Structure 1
Amino acid sequence: MQHKRYYNNKICLNVLANSIENAKEIYHTAEGHAVIGLLASNYTDVDKAVDDVQLYGEAIDRAISLGLGGGDPNQWKMVTDICRKVTPEHINQVFPAVAYTRACVQNETSHINCLVNPAETPGYVNIATGPMSAQEPAVNIPVRSAITLISEMGGNAIKLFPMNGLAMRQHYVKIAEACGEAGFILEPTGGITVDNFEEIVSLALEAGVPKVIPHVYSSIMDPDTGITRVEAIKKLFKIMKKIG
């Protein structure tokens, strides 16, 4: 993945599209600095998902992010089943399934993020994000410990979800600082809009995070059609060029 345009910059958008045409518009508007999310929760058939990953990938330089769908832990296995047949460039996964996912892709180059939740205490994250562990009491550990465990499992990034925009600003800054110190990628997710995008990404870059992959979903989509608005992508990319 290192040779792709969408991975050679400090900021890479992660957005959704409702069609291949929409995906192509987004990708070209962002000049290749974007990955397009296809969500496991939208499929009941693995082969159909595999077909779409391949079709979309052919249209946009393989810049596909295979997502869970709203951070749904019950989709972890669907993600891995898809990965057994096709290897997306970017894969979203819950904490307990990261090592399993790395084994499924059978390589060390695909980017696998690891979903953790902000904990009540700044500087800590909850790693109990699997289908069973999420039903139990939270398992809150220091961010640096989480980063070490994620790295040992073959993961490449912390996906912090749900962010709720800047509602937990102090927590976010602490997590960004830990990622900066460790040279680890951070993927803020949830409640990111055109209005708060610059501050969210800037805080991470100022903390020394080597690469930020903000997931910007519903706030830039037409609620009736599911189309991601290209005008919003233009605004986000302008900000990316300004601060990145």
Structure 2
Amino acid sequence: MQIKKFNFYKDKVALNLLAKDLENAKDVAKVLDGNVVIGILSKNFNTVEEAVTYAKRFLEELPVISIGLGAGDPNQWKMAAEIASETDPGHVNQVFTTAAYTAGLLKGKECKNTIVNALISPTGEVGKVKISTGPLSSDAKEAVVDVDTALSMLKDAGVNSIKFFHMKGTKHLEELKEVAKACVRVGIPLIEPTGGIEVENIYDIVKTCVDAGCDKVIPHVYSSAIDKETGLTDLDIVKKLYDEIKKVFE
């Protein structure tokens, strides 16, 4: 797995944040000492070409960006995959059922530096996860499987990162703990807790993953870090998030 473009605090944690524009993104990266992956959401663009042009501007100034779906919308999977295949951004978000396709597409386009994650969801039962997160399967009967089985299937497919969404803050913290332990057991090096993460709970979420022995952790913090009036990612909030992450390693 190539992660050479990433910066991780204590070689463990990088934040995934949005930014209103490139200048905001650069300011966010500065506050976090570069331990950040700025997300660009495919849903915000009308065409792949438009998104590729926008993403390339960011990659001229930042070593890595994350191509996202947009509110976890599984219908955006193909657009996100195509944007990533044209930019080799470093990171791309996918749902469980399309992650293997995306990994293959990137390999075919010789995108050697981009990590593909796969979205699995909490079920309310520790050790069980929902894998029917795709554009069609998310509307079908839920497919709930043992977490080790789900992760082994993804490792079979060449996927090296797990996105656990929707966390709803710490509501599914015990489930996250078991997913994190499963990542270690199966050999998935990267875990990405997502959904409802904010200053008040990021410590508990990151600590859960670090204590489980996860190699790398990328918590996604979106709306809670954005100033509702300006649309900018709030640098004061970003600093507070960073301070909470630092406490994990004290």
TM-score normalised by the shorter chain: which range applies?
A: over 0.9
> Aligned letter for 2:128?
Y
Determine the structure 2 residue equivalent to 1:93.
94
**Contact 1:83–1:104 under 8 Å retained in 2:** no
Determine the structure 2 residue equivalent to 1:112.
116
Matched, 1:220 2:215: no
- Out of 32, 38, 59, the position equivalent to 1:30 is 32
**Contact 1:180–1:209 under 8 Å retained in 2:** yes
Q: TM-score, normalised by structure 2?
A: 0.92
**Contact 2:5–2:113 under 8 Å retained in 1:** no
**Contact 1:183–1:208 under 8 Å retained in 2:** no
* Distance in 2 separating the partners of 1:240 and 1:171: 20
Determine the structure 2 residue equivalent to 1:41.
43
> Aligned letter for 2:175?
H
Q: TM-score, normalised by structure 1?
A: 0.95
**Contact 1:164–1:190 under 8 Å retained in 2:** yes
**Contact 2:16–2:39 under 8 Å retained in 1:** yes
**Contact 2:15–2:37 under 8 Å retained in 1:** yes
* Distance in 2 separating the partners of 1:75 and 1:109: 22
1:154-165 residue pairs with structure 2 within 5 A? 154-165=158-169
1:89-144 deviation digits (Å, cap 9, x = unpaired) = 01000111111101221245411110111123211111101110001111111111
Taking a change above 3 Å as real, the CA distance of residues 239 and 99 of structure 1, as seen in their structure-2 partners, is: same
- Structure 1 stretches of at least 4 aligned residues deviating more than 6 Å after TM superposition: none
User: Any gaps of 5 or more consecutive residues in structure 2?
Assistant: none
- Report the CA distance between 1:73 and its aligned residue: 0.3
* Distance in 2 separating the partners of 1:80 and 1:150: 17
SS, match of residue 222 in structure 1: coil
> Aligned letter for 2:114?
S
1:157-206 deviation digits (Å, cap 9, x = unpaired) = 11001000011222222212212333421100000000100011001111
**Contact 1:118–1:160 under 8 Å retained in 2:** yes
For these two proteins, the number of residue pairs brought into alignment is: 243
User: Any gaps of 5 or more consecutive residues in structure 1?
Assistant: none
* Distance in 2 separating the partners of 1:205 and 1:180: 11
* Distance in 1 separating the partners of 2:160 and 2:227: 31
RMSD of Structure 2 on Structure 1 (CA): 1.5
SS, match of residue 221 in structure 2: coil
Determine the structure 1 residue equivalent to 2:85.
84
* Distance in 1 separating the partners of 2:187 and 2:241: 24
